[in-house]
Amino acid sequence: MYIILGGTGHVGSAAAKTLLAQGAPVTIVTRDEGKAGDLKQAGATVAIADVGDTDALRRVFATGRRAFLLNPPADPGTDTDAEEKRTIALILAALDGSGLEKVVAESTYGAQPGDRIGDLNTLYALEQGLKAQPIPASIIRAAYYYSNWDASLDTARKEGVLHTMFPADFALPMVAPQDLGAQAARLLTEPVDRTGTYYVEGPERCSSADVAAAFAAALGKPVTTVVTPREHWVEAYKALGFSDPAAASYARMTAITLDDGFDAEAPVRGLVTLDDYVADLVRGAPG
Protein backbone atom coordinates (compact mmCIF):
# COMPACT_ATOMS: atom_id res chain seq x y z
CA MET A 1 0.00 0.00 0.00
CA TYR A 2 1.23 3.48 -0.93
CA ILE A 3 0.20 6.33 1.36
CA ILE A 4 -0.16 9.78 -0.24
CA LEU A 5 -0.18 12.72 2.15
CA GLY A 6 -2.06 15.66 0.67
CA GLY A 7 -3.64 13.27 -1.77
CA THR A 8 -6.34 15.67 -3.00
CA GLY A 9 -3.93 18.47 -3.91
CA HIS A 10 -2.33 19.12 -7.30
CA VAL A 11 0.79 16.99 -6.85
CA GLY A 12 -0.57 14.42 -4.40
CA SER A 13 -3.53 13.57 -6.62
CA ALA A 14 -1.22 13.28 -9.64
CA ALA A 15 0.99 10.83 -7.74
CA ALA A 16 -2.06 8.85 -6.62
CA LYS A 17 -3.53 8.69 -10.14
CA THR A 18 -0.21 7.55 -11.58
CA LEU A 19 0.07 4.71 -9.07
CA LEU A 20 -3.58 3.71 -9.48
CA ALA A 21 -3.13 3.55 -13.25
CA GLN A 22 -0.33 1.06 -12.61
CA GLY A 23 -2.67 -1.09 -10.53
CA ALA A 24 -1.01 -0.22 -7.23
CA PRO A 25 -3.00 0.03 -3.98
CA VAL A 26 -3.18 3.62 -2.79
CA THR A 27 -4.46 5.35 0.33
CA ILE A 28 -4.84 9.11 0.14
CA VAL A 29 -4.77 11.15 3.32
CA THR A 30 -7.07 14.15 3.44
CA ARG A 31 -9.03 16.28 5.88
CA ASP A 32 -11.96 16.59 3.48
CA GLU A 33 -13.41 13.37 2.07
CA GLY A 34 -15.61 15.43 -0.24
CA LYS A 35 -12.57 16.34 -2.32
CA ALA A 36 -11.63 12.71 -2.89
CA GLY A 37 -14.57 11.54 -5.01
CA ASP A 38 -12.70 11.02 -8.29
CA LEU A 39 -9.85 9.22 -6.55
CA LYS A 40 -12.27 6.91 -4.73
CA GLN A 41 -13.89 6.09 -8.05
CA ALA A 42 -10.44 5.31 -9.43
CA GLY A 43 -9.91 2.79 -6.62
CA ALA A 44 -8.13 4.71 -3.89
CA THR A 45 -8.79 4.19 -0.21
CA VAL A 46 -9.44 7.43 1.68
CA ALA A 47 -8.09 8.05 5.18
CA ILE A 48 -9.34 11.08 7.07
CA ALA A 49 -6.52 12.49 9.17
CA ASP A 50 -4.95 15.82 10.05
CA VAL A 51 -1.20 16.32 10.23
CA GLY A 52 -1.84 17.93 13.60
CA ASP A 53 -2.86 14.55 15.02
CA THR A 54 0.42 12.64 15.16
CA ASP A 55 -1.04 9.41 16.50
CA ALA A 56 -3.78 9.30 13.85
CA LEU A 57 -1.28 10.01 11.08
CA ARG A 58 1.08 7.31 12.38
CA ARG A 59 -1.79 4.81 12.33
CA VAL A 60 -2.46 5.66 8.67
CA PHE A 61 1.24 5.32 7.81
CA ALA A 62 1.25 1.91 9.54
CA THR A 63 -1.26 0.59 6.98
CA GLY A 64 1.24 1.03 4.15
CA ARG A 65 4.79 0.27 3.11
CA ARG A 66 5.78 3.52 1.43
CA ALA A 67 4.58 7.11 1.68
CA PHE A 68 4.71 10.35 -0.26
CA LEU A 69 5.07 13.34 2.06
CA LEU A 70 3.77 16.82 1.27
CA ASN A 71 3.85 19.46 3.96
CA PRO A 72 0.51 21.32 3.75
CA PRO A 73 0.82 25.02 2.90
CA ALA A 74 -0.08 27.25 5.82
CA ASP A 75 -2.91 29.75 5.66
CA PRO A 76 -1.20 32.93 4.35
CA GLY A 77 -2.99 34.92 7.05
CA THR A 78 -0.89 33.15 9.69
CA ASP A 79 2.82 33.20 10.47
CA THR A 80 3.47 30.76 7.63
CA ASP A 81 7.07 29.93 8.51
CA ALA A 82 6.20 29.04 12.09
CA GLU A 83 3.10 27.07 11.09
CA GLU A 84 4.86 25.07 8.38
CA LYS A 85 7.80 24.24 10.65
CA ARG A 86 5.25 23.01 13.20
CA THR A 87 3.53 20.69 10.73
CA ILE A 88 6.87 19.39 9.45
CA ALA A 89 7.83 18.43 13.00
CA LEU A 90 4.51 16.63 13.42
CA ILE A 91 4.90 14.68 10.15
CA LEU A 92 8.41 13.64 11.14
CA ALA A 93 7.13 12.54 14.54
CA ALA A 94 4.44 10.42 12.88
CA LEU A 95 7.10 8.51 10.92
CA ASP A 96 8.60 7.23 14.17
CA GLY A 97 7.22 3.75 14.81
CA SER A 98 5.17 3.76 11.59
CA GLY A 99 6.90 0.75 10.08
CA LEU A 100 7.29 2.40 6.68
CA GLU A 101 10.12 1.04 4.58
CA LYS A 102 10.63 4.12 2.36
CA VAL A 103 9.37 7.70 1.95
CA VAL A 104 9.50 10.27 -0.84
CA ALA A 105 9.12 13.94 0.09
CA GLU A 106 8.37 17.08 -1.89
CA SER A 107 10.79 19.97 -1.42
CA THR A 108 11.70 22.92 -3.62
CA TYR A 109 14.46 24.32 -5.80
CA GLY A 110 16.66 26.59 -3.70
CA ALA A 111 15.90 24.90 -0.36
CA GLN A 112 18.50 26.20 2.07
CA PRO A 113 19.16 26.97 5.71
CA GLY A 114 18.03 30.38 6.89
CA ASP A 115 15.30 32.18 8.70
CA ARG A 116 12.16 33.83 7.37
CA ILE A 117 12.64 32.86 3.73
CA GLY A 118 9.43 30.89 3.27
CA ASP A 119 9.47 27.46 1.66
CA LEU A 120 13.22 27.69 1.13
CA ASN A 121 13.99 27.26 4.82
CA THR A 122 10.91 25.32 5.94
CA LEU A 123 11.34 22.60 3.31
CA TYR A 124 15.08 22.51 3.98
CA ALA A 125 14.08 21.66 7.56
CA LEU A 126 11.98 18.80 6.18
CA GLU A 127 14.93 17.52 4.15
CA GLN A 128 17.25 17.64 7.16
CA GLY A 129 14.67 15.97 9.40
CA LEU A 130 14.31 13.09 6.95
CA LYS A 131 18.07 12.64 6.74
CA ALA A 132 18.22 12.40 10.54
CA GLN A 133 15.71 9.53 10.80
CA PRO A 134 16.19 5.88 9.83
CA ILE A 135 13.61 5.36 7.05
CA PRO A 136 15.23 5.59 3.58
CA ALA A 137 14.07 8.82 1.93
CA SER A 138 14.17 10.36 -1.54
CA ILE A 139 13.70 14.09 -2.00
CA ILE A 140 12.06 15.84 -4.95
CA ARG A 141 13.23 19.43 -5.33
CA ALA A 142 10.43 20.84 -7.43
CA ALA A 143 10.64 23.81 -9.75
CA TYR A 144 8.10 26.65 -9.62
CA TYR A 145 4.66 25.11 -10.09
CA TYR A 146 2.75 26.04 -13.23
CA SER A 147 -0.29 25.91 -10.94
CA ASN A 148 0.99 28.99 -9.10
CA TRP A 149 -0.33 30.89 -12.13
CA ASP A 150 -3.86 29.45 -11.86
CA ALA A 151 -5.05 32.47 -9.89
CA SER A 152 -3.93 34.73 -12.74
CA LEU A 153 -6.58 33.38 -15.10
CA ASP A 154 -9.28 35.74 -13.84
CA THR A 155 -7.35 38.97 -14.46
CA ALA A 156 -5.93 37.65 -17.71
CA ARG A 157 -9.43 36.89 -18.97
CA LYS A 158 -11.18 40.02 -17.66
CA GLU A 159 -8.43 42.64 -17.91
CA GLY A 160 -5.83 41.21 -20.28
CA VAL A 161 -3.22 41.53 -17.53
CA LEU A 162 -0.81 39.16 -15.79
CA HIS A 163 0.59 40.46 -12.50
CA THR A 164 4.09 39.28 -11.58
CA MET A 165 6.90 40.11 -9.18
CA PHE A 166 9.56 38.88 -11.59
CA PRO A 167 10.94 40.92 -14.49
CA ALA A 168 8.95 39.95 -17.56
CA ASP A 169 11.97 38.37 -19.27
CA PHE A 170 13.32 36.51 -16.21
CA ALA A 171 13.26 32.80 -17.03
CA LEU A 172 12.92 30.32 -14.19
CA PRO A 173 12.40 26.57 -13.99
CA MET A 174 8.71 25.70 -13.91
CA VAL A 175 6.94 22.36 -13.80
CA ALA A 176 3.48 20.82 -14.06
CA PRO A 177 2.02 19.05 -11.01
CA GLN A 178 1.37 16.05 -13.27
CA ASP A 179 5.10 15.66 -13.91
CA LEU A 180 5.90 15.97 -10.22
CA GLY A 181 3.29 13.33 -9.42
CA ALA A 182 4.75 11.00 -12.04
CA GLN A 183 8.24 11.45 -10.58
CA ALA A 184 6.92 10.82 -7.06
CA ALA A 185 5.28 7.59 -8.22
CA ARG A 186 8.48 6.47 -9.91
CA LEU A 187 10.59 7.08 -6.81
CA LEU A 188 8.04 5.36 -4.58
CA THR A 189 8.25 2.19 -6.66
CA GLU A 190 12.04 2.07 -6.87
CA PRO A 191 14.08 -0.28 -4.65
CA VAL A 192 14.21 0.72 -1.00
CA ASP A 193 17.93 1.43 -1.07
CA ARG A 194 17.74 3.70 -4.12
CA THR A 195 17.46 7.19 -2.66
CA GLY A 196 18.71 10.67 -3.42
CA THR A 197 17.73 14.25 -4.23
CA TYR A 198 16.09 14.84 -7.60
CA TYR A 199 15.49 18.20 -9.26
CA VAL A 200 12.37 18.18 -11.42
CA GLU A 201 11.39 20.85 -13.94
CA GLY A 202 9.48 21.15 -17.18
CA PRO A 203 10.74 20.85 -20.76
CA GLU A 204 12.13 24.40 -20.75
CA ARG A 205 12.50 27.40 -18.50
CA CYS A 206 9.88 30.10 -18.86
CA SER A 207 9.41 33.77 -18.04
CA SER A 208 6.41 35.81 -16.97
CA ALA A 209 6.22 37.04 -20.56
CA ASP A 210 5.96 33.42 -21.67
CA VAL A 211 3.13 32.87 -19.19
CA ALA A 212 1.31 35.94 -20.53
CA ALA A 213 1.78 34.66 -24.08
CA ALA A 214 0.37 31.26 -23.09
CA PHE A 215 -2.71 32.90 -21.59
CA ALA A 216 -3.07 35.11 -24.68
CA ALA A 217 -2.97 32.10 -26.99
CA ALA A 218 -5.44 30.13 -24.89
CA LEU A 219 -7.85 33.04 -24.42
CA GLY A 220 -7.54 34.42 -27.93
CA LYS A 221 -6.83 37.96 -26.70
CA PRO A 222 -3.76 40.04 -25.80
CA VAL A 223 -2.38 39.60 -22.28
CA THR A 224 0.38 41.85 -20.98
CA THR A 225 2.59 41.58 -17.91
CA VAL A 226 2.44 44.12 -15.08
CA VAL A 227 5.55 43.89 -12.91
CA THR A 228 5.37 44.83 -9.22
CA PRO A 229 8.57 46.67 -8.21
CA ARG A 230 10.65 45.05 -5.47
CA GLU A 231 9.96 47.87 -3.02
CA HIS A 232 6.25 47.06 -3.22
CA TRP A 233 6.46 43.28 -2.81
CA VAL A 234 5.57 43.21 0.88
CA GLU A 235 2.63 45.52 0.28
CA ALA A 236 1.48 43.34 -2.64
CA TYR A 237 1.57 40.17 -0.55
CA LYS A 238 -0.41 41.88 2.19
CA ALA A 239 -3.01 42.91 -0.37
CA LEU A 240 -3.41 39.21 -1.18
CA GLY A 241 -4.23 38.47 2.46
CA PHE A 242 -0.79 37.57 3.79
CA SER A 243 0.01 38.37 7.41
CA ASP A 244 2.84 40.79 8.14
CA PRO A 245 5.38 38.02 8.90
CA ALA A 246 4.22 35.92 5.95
CA ALA A 247 4.45 38.87 3.54
CA ALA A 248 7.98 39.69 4.70
CA SER A 249 9.03 36.04 4.44
CA TYR A 250 7.61 35.57 0.95
CA ALA A 251 9.20 38.81 -0.24
CA ARG A 252 12.60 37.57 0.94
CA MET A 253 12.01 34.21 -0.76
CA THR A 254 11.11 36.02 -3.99
CA ALA A 255 14.30 38.10 -3.76
CA ILE A 256 16.46 34.98 -3.34
CA THR A 257 14.75 33.37 -6.32
CA LEU A 258 15.47 36.42 -8.45
CA ASP A 259 18.98 37.20 -7.20
CA ASP A 260 20.57 33.79 -6.65
CA GLY A 261 19.43 31.86 -9.70
CA PHE A 262 19.08 28.09 -9.79
CA ASP A 263 21.74 25.44 -9.37
CA ALA A 264 19.97 22.26 -10.43
CA GLU A 265 22.02 19.10 -10.66
CA ALA A 266 21.02 17.11 -13.79
CA PRO A 267 17.30 17.95 -13.55
CA VAL A 268 14.66 15.43 -14.47
CA ARG A 269 12.66 16.94 -17.34
CA GLY A 270 8.89 16.65 -17.31
CA LEU A 271 6.79 16.38 -20.45
CA VAL A 272 4.03 18.97 -19.91
CA THR A 273 4.71 22.32 -21.54
CA LEU A 274 3.59 25.66 -20.14
CA ASP A 275 1.40 26.25 -23.21
CA ASP A 276 -0.37 22.92 -22.79
CA TYR A 277 -0.88 23.43 -19.07
CA VAL A 278 -2.39 26.90 -19.52
CA ALA A 279 -4.56 25.72 -22.42
CA ASP A 280 -5.97 22.95 -20.23
CA LEU A 281 -6.51 25.42 -17.38
CA VAL A 282 -8.49 27.78 -19.61
CA ARG A 283 -10.56 24.96 -21.10
CA GLY A 284 -11.41 23.62 -17.66
CA ALA A 285 -12.38 26.94 -16.05
CA PRO A 286 -15.84 28.55 -16.40
CA GLY A 287 -15.82 31.52 -18.75
Q: Quick: pLDDT tens for 34-83.
A: 777 888 888 999 999 999 999 999 999 999 999 999 999 999 999 999 99
Interval 245-267 mean pLDDT: 92
Q: CA–CA separation, 239 vs 235, rounded Å?
A: 6
Phi and psi of 70, rounded to 5°?
-125, 120
User: Is the per-residue pLDDT at 235 higher than 70?
Assistant: yes
Residue 168 to residues 16, 91, 144, 181, 225, Cα–Cα distance (Å): 35, 38, 16, 28, 7
Global pTM reads 0.95
pLDDT of 3 above 70:
yes
Length of the chain: 287
**Residue 131 pLDDT > 70, yes or no?**
yes
As a whole number of angstroms, the distance between CA 68 and CA 104 comes to: 5
Helices (H), 169-240: 177-189, 208-219, 233-239
Q: Which residues contact 53 (CB under 8 A, 6 or more apart)?
A: none
Of the candidates 210, 197, 207, 204, the residue with the CA atom closest to the CA atom of residue 142: 197
Q: CATH classification of 2-145+176-202+261-272 is 3.40.50.720, yes or no?
A: yes
pLDDT at 129: 98
